[in-house]
Structure 1
Amino acid sequence: MPTHAYGANAADQALQAMQIERRTPGPHDVQIDIAFCGVCHSDLHTVRSEWGGTRYPCVPGHEIVGHVSAVGSDVTGFRIGDTVGVGCMVDSCQHCSACAEGLEQYCQNGFVGTYNGKTADPPGHTLGGYSQRIVVDDRFVLKIHHPEDQLAAVAPLLCAGITTYSPLRHWNIGPGKKVGIVGIGGLGHMGIKLAHAMGAHVVAFTTSQGKRQDARDLGADEVVVSRIPAEMHAHGGSFDFILNTVAAPHDLDAFTALLKRDGTMCLVGVPASPHPSPNIGQLIFGRRSIAGSLIGGIAETQEMLDFCAGHGIVSDIEMIPVQHIDQAYERMLRSDVKYRFVIDSASLA
């Protein structure tokens, strides 16, 4: 099925309009007319092959919200007209221990990404949400219960939302817990909102004095400018959990020193080069941990969407037409967005 899309034909080329093919829905497929697609840093890294291994043409986009326009004969959980979402995965092996536990993001045989993943469909790799429609196995389609006028702001929940929700849930964040969120960007602003909604005492860390009020508006109880030693020192040894969303190399010791005994700092940003090696003594003498987390499984992503719908949580966004995507990438690199770009798919017409 011919579909209008926007993508790149090479790492050094701007994104451009193109026509791609989508498969005819099979028995277990759901066809989705895309209304909105969030813009993630991963899109930029993949389009420009900064992580290597990009297959071209590359159509990015894995924060997809739309409406069901066709279903396969064996699909029972979705009907035409349903409001649905697709996140970072469209398949996994379904038979390893991780998949059996509903942790498809850790599939031992590698999950299939919504874009740049191997597939039998032409051109041999998946093509993402910068397009008018997509066809996805029903096991990887999510139900959205937010009101229609919030759907654009729901799109980033499919990546930024679950990336921050999953570690907060895994480390049992809730009332009585003191939680730090490092970085107030696309991921960090969602971390603040979610940790606040879970009932934790939330402390936001930023390098910018100008973001103090922004962080409070998002739900932070306290704000620390990490470049001010006295502010950092005042919180020494007091955090149960720190969610570090910064994707650039930095001194981890400054934050592990703030953890209680048995506290954990979880990293969700992947820097282009390694962080400086942490002070192991600081970990040993406090039984502290540095951990990592990757998005979430399908069941947990559905749980996150339902939690956000119940608490009125969406992302803070700036809507753009798809033709402005290259400018949006450059602004994203300068952190010149509050806090996530979302493509209006109507602009593809």
Structure 2
Amino acid sequence: MTKPSLSRRKFLATSGLGAAGVGLLPTPAIASGARQWKMVTSWPKGAPGVGVTAQRLADRITTMSGGKLTVKLYAAGELVPALEVFGAVGGGTAELGHTASFFWQGKAKASVFFTTIPFGLTALEHMAWINQGGGQELWDRLYQPFDIKPFMAGNTGIQMGGWFKKEVRSLDDLRGIKIRSAGLGGDLFEELGATSVLLAPGDIFPGLQNGLIDAAEFLGPWSDRAFGFYKTAPYYYWPSFNKPNGTAECLVNRTAFEELSDDLKAVVANACQSENAIGLSESDWENARALEDLVSNKNVQVREFPKDMLHRAKALTPDLLDKFVAGDAMAEEILTSYRTALSLSESWSRVSRQAFLAARDQ
């Protein structure tokens, strides 16, 4: 069954400050003594992928709790700006947040490892690290000083390399361009000679239009198409060497979470886990459909990044990571754990997924 499309104008209209409130799906009546929580997000209302996931998570918690924990979602700018979600949840302005961890490296440097890093873990490998390799415990420790409990809560999968106004035929063509990028991927673009600009999702398209940026990487074809990036930057590059995973996070105010009964704690945790799986499968399906549409109907030119650029990016990454964590004991510990997970995953992926895909494509 084909899902109704959502116009870029409709959901971007609510991305700024002072936008209208967000309605929820029908929910059970609020029982006496029930809790009402607010969820703030970094996404415009209804944005395909992340925005859809955030709303579905809010509705899922409300329904699974039988109305004992009702969640109202506020899109980016409705209660707090997109890039202030972390502080809003930690400070108690909202009990929940839906966002991406790499926005917070200025507050907790190692947060970037819990969304994605260049040449790092894929979505399934990342989930294995979090659930089986000690990643969740490290994540909890990292956010505890901010009174925040984090959960994986959605995944946009492997991302595309980005939208460019002009073709990138070699590493030299990257030098001097201004690209919207977040996390360590932005730092790597800087090392490659570009200028990285961090913009909230709702500000990317205007930035491309008015010349603030020359290129932008965000998510995958499904989300990117809805934002309309192809209208000003027709060259769509792969592979996403800098963002091989797209983990979204649900931030929960730790004090509020600890006040919940055990059954409601389980509702929040299991709703996040469920949305993480559903969001990943949905993104994989919708990205394939959207890419086909972009190429067939939107005149998008899909291009492969030049080999010299990819080789240089791969060579720069280890030193970039080492310098990034240097002097921060928590970040150093997390990088060590992450690299252990990556080494283990590479040995298995080489003879499983990677080998199978090579065989299937021959």
Give TM-score scaled by structure 2 length.
Answer: 0.28
More strand by share: 1
More helix by share: 2
Give TM-score scaled by structure 1 length.
Answer: 0.28
